[in-house]
Chain A
Amino acid sequence: MSTHDRLHALDAVRAFALLLGVVFHAGFSFLPGLIPGIWAMTDTSPSTAIGVLLFTSHIFRMSLFFFVAGFFGHLLFHRRGARGFWADRCKRILVPLVGGWVVLFPAIAAVWIWGITKTFDGKLPAPPANLPPPPPGAFPLTHLWFLYVLLLLYVLVVVARSAVAAIDRRGSLRCVLDAVVRGAVETGAIVVLLPIPAVAALYARPDWIAWFGIPTPDQSLIPHLASLAAYGTAVSFGWLVHRQIDLLNVWRRQWPALLAVAIAATVICLSLVGSAPAFVPFAPGLRKLGYACSYGVAIWCWSFGIVGAAMRFMSQPNAAVRYVSDASYWIYLAHLPIVAAFQVLVGRLPWHWSVKFPIVLAASMLVLLTSYHYLVRSTFVGQLLNGRKYPRTPQRPASSGSRSDSGGTSGDSRVDPPAEHLAVLEDVHKRYGKTVALAGLSLDVRRGELLAVLGPNGAGKSTAISLWLGLLQPDAGRVRLLGGSPEDVETRRHIGVMMQEVGLTPELRVRELIELTAGYYPSPLSLPDTLALTRLEALADRPYARLSAGQKRQVQFALAICGRPALLFLDEPTVGLDVDARETMWRTIRELVSQGCSVVLTTHYLEEAEALADRVMVLANGRLIAGGTVAEIRSVVSRKQITCSTTLEPRDVERWPGVLAVTRGLRHLQITANDAEAVVRRLLAADERVGDLEVRQAGLAEAFTALTKEAA
């Protein structure tokens, strides 16, 4: 079992705890003995069954949530460090807390006013005369209190952690702590030890409404002691368990026993308080103590039993579970006004609760899931809540498209007065801050040629192209484009551009993108011609977002050529294309060149330059280090590649005169030399058993590697 499996299970547990909260609130109006005015609606058909369900789920749902939050907190803290931890927690807890409250509080207040008005038949009751004074720091946190408390507890846990780390430099204290935790978990004593702080705080509380367990700290910015004790232990224990992640396996084995004890403890609690909530405090005494202890044990037996069951049954990734896990955070945040609104709607209908409760739950979930799917999952809200944004539609693999070469020729090619150099850089300097991008580069593009610009990353290729396109200004030197300035839109109407890594409007269809771009040009190709030329007919009506990476490049190429440009800039055009699509693009590029179009092409694929280029320019460190035809470049570096099988050591051969580099392959030695004949003679003399001898002209790849190495 890998670490990942464990996280699937705990993701599901967290989602379960949150969704249980939705069920809890959806059932609230059906509680037997509910005092009108306490909740938005008091249903006309109360239910003991719902009372038992709500009582049981409320025992553990928040503690379970805080336990998982502590567990993932430790994971995050150690994966991202303190800064990353707080940045993430601010984004995913603080922002939803503040933003959610601003939106939800008015909605909740409105639904409550509506519901209570309806409960009392249009007459709002006067507030009781002797209301207790508001607690210090009073603030209606609503159900979002859990985010607030979680942030507080994270602060406390991280502070405690730093304190421990400061005192316990050698880690011996932590070893003891880990051993204690392990012992308590393996013996099962943990379910008795862990609740001690919460049980003590609850028992000490004179106004404890026992039916609702741990009092909800939603009324004040200063949480009361009982909630801090209960949820503080949950978060810290989750934090500690992640230190020894295999402890989860203990619960994986123990889950049936844990759940059995949980049910027994719950039955004891119910027998002490009844299925209907009594809104009066418990009198101190043995009965109160027994209840508090059973309640505490029930909290952790339920929690660990559920974690164990999830480990047992939900460790495998499952798309549906994953979806619900992602949705659950949004659902819990947004559910309260929606659930309450449906409760208010059905509250006075003369139907049985067994009809109304499922309706409230189903209708709320429908609204919440729909809103999640359409408004959250693939938008910034989803990005914020889930830490990632899902694409609206899954990416499709590339289709090769139909391949039929039909006839039809390209007709006229008007010849203009010769302007030999279409694009010129003259002694251009450009720096970004302290980094020198171009140091006196001169380049020119001649009419009707394909110029390939090669160079390693950071050589200055993209800067050169950006200067020609008017996207950058040179610090010194001259930039000319088609005899004018690249900043003049009139000049740019005769160039086509394909850039690296550009995101086009995802919602527009291929046909629309081409029409839009063609509209910028004075006399563009027709849409059918552009589609035919780039083999995009079959994809014309597909939204850009639903294309594969290769298809997107094809569309960008179509946009580059649709204006019938005299000069075309192609920045790494064939990255991500399959062989067919690349062949099509090459053929179209050749056709463009044959009709007099000039092309500037940067590429990493050296074979692409060899296949297409009339001239090759090699840049390194912002300078031109070599230039000429493919053949010239090769002969400038009059290097040969010698391959042979030999027993000679590469170290020795490296020292021979005329040898530039030696690499050992699986069975062969590869020697790059500028005096191949002399090297071969010496090879034969030195090793009589030399075999598989092969001498060939270095390809552009080798020439390129050698040149840029020398420049560096």
Chain B
Amino acid sequence: MSALHGMTAAALVDQQVAVPMRLGRVVRAYAQEAAYEALRMLRAPAFSIGLLVVPIPVYLFFGVILSAPAIAKNPGIGSYLFSGFSTFAIMGPALFGVGCTLALEREAGLLKLKRAWPAPGGAYLIAKMATAVVFAVLLMILMVSTAVLTGKANLTAAQFLALSLALIAASVPFAAIGLFIGAYSSGSAAPAFANIAYLPQLWLSGLFFPLPKFIEPWAVIWPAFHANQVALGAAGVREFMFVPTLLSIGVLAGITVLFGGLAIRRLARHG
């Protein structure tokens, strides 16, 4: 047997074919996949700057500076705008982060390779969802800090916490929509589809300003509207709770199952 460069005394081939993998290692594989997925997203400036940094000045400018007179008249508007801009913030990583990277990696053949490798079932998709949740946690920390510093959100600590937890959970249905986009579209078309899923519903859900009367009844068809309602419901901002919170939770759960299911179906067949 020839000596190989720099190797310690380990066999290159594991012949114990019958020995199954320990549970601890399987769990670790899931965790590692998620951790590295989050890490690579944070390292990509297009995602980390675009999705983590941009929402803060947007909230500051539109939700704090420009809205100061309105909030002075009605403090509830401050809470509503904080919730609206937070919803806007957590949607980005879920739709773009998940959708665009999945589509690109599918196209690059990485998904196929992961399926050929003994990667534990679904680890890759779970990692994508988990990354959206991690980004939502970071965004809520940033948003709450901004709101506390500027003092325009008019929420108590408990309300901040409840609203944040609600929106962190609400990032999951958007990540499912992201998976759906990533599973069906090509890498170059995914950003366009993600934008279609993002921009119109931002405006049409009435997150930032009162809607014209003829659009208002249609707000209920948008997931963003329900995410915002769940957040406001969790924080108990009664003035702006338009539909029962439980209904909104049901809608979001349905969206998660529907889009997540369609995505998994597609990926299981095509990779």
Contact = CB atoms under 8 A, between A and B. Distances in A.
B186 to A, nearest CB: 12
A110 B62 contact: yes
Interface stretch (A41-49, A79-87, A231-239, A399-407): A399-407
Question: Which size class do A's interface residues fall under?
Answer: 35 or more
Interface string B10-46: 1111111101111001001100110010011101111
Interface string B202-232: 0100000000000000000000000000000
Contact of A519 (B1, B32, B100): B32
A16 interface: no
A522 B15 contact: no
B167 to A, nearest CB: 22
Given A409-B1, A492-B117, A595-B12, A95 B108 contact: no
Interface in B74-107: 100, 104-105, 107
Contacts of A501: 109
Nearest to A517: B117
Given A113-B66, A507-B44, A596-B13, A497 B113 contact: yes
Nearest to B208: A106
Contacts of B110: 502-505
A497 B66 contact: no
Nearest to A465: B116
B199 interface: yes
A458 B133 CA distance: 43
Interface in A504-528: 504-508, 512, 515-517, 519-523, 525-526, 528
B183 to A, nearest CB: 16
A591 B4 CA distance: 8
A411 B14 CA distance: 12
A502 B108 contact: yes
A535 interface: yes
Contacts, number: 216
B117 to A, nearest CB: 6
- A contact patch SS: loop
A95 B5 CA distance: 55
B266 interface: no
B9 A416 contact: no
B244 interface: no
A471 B7 contact: no
B72 to A, nearest CB: 13
Interface of A: 95, 99, 102-103, 110, 113-114, 374-375, 378-381, 383-384, 392, 404-416, 419, 469-471, 482-483, 489-490, 492-495, 497, 499, 501-508, 512, 515-517, 519-523, 525-526, 528-529, 532-533, 535, 537, 543, 561, 563-566, 569, 587-588, 590-592, 594-597
Given A102-B199, A521-B118, A529-B8, 5 more contacts: A102-B200, A113-B66, A535-B5, A564-B14, A597-B12
17 contacts: A110-B62, A114-B65, A379-B191, A380-B192, A408-B7, A410-B1, A410-B7, A471-B116, A489-B121, A501-B109, A505-B105, A508-B36, A519-B25, A522-B14, A529-B7, A543-B43, A564-B10
